Amino acid sequence: LNGEGYEIEHIIPRDMICDNSQSNKVLSCRSCNSKKSNKTAFDFMRSQDKAMFDDYIKRVEKWLAVWWV
């Protein structure tokens, strides 16, 4: 990665919880983060069409099944 087109994103927006810690940050596509704005991933995906939201929920459930044993 050369840094172009990417930026640090707050998982839970800072204006919601004022958390600027490393555990609240991920690397994100700059344009994706811009679209998400100050929403959580869940709230952003819920604002998309139903098929996209349903696909997102399936991915989250699959991830939880692996990591929350």
Q: What is the pLDDT of residue 68?
A: 78
Q: What is the pLDDT of residue 1?
A: 62
Q: What is the pLDDT of residue 20?
A: 95
Q: Is the dihedral of CA 12, 15, 3, 29 positive or negative?
A: positive
Compute the distance between CA of residue 28 and CA of residue 48 in angstroms, rounded to an integer.
Answer: 18
> Could you tell me the CA-to-CA distances from 36 to 4, 15, 64 in Å, in that order?
18, 14, 22
Structure tokens at 49: 């069409």
Which mean pLDDT values do the consecutive 10-residue runs of the chain (69 residues) have? Answer: 85 94 95 94 96 97 88
The answer for residues whose C-beta is within 8 angstroms of residue 37's C-beta and 6 or more apart is 44
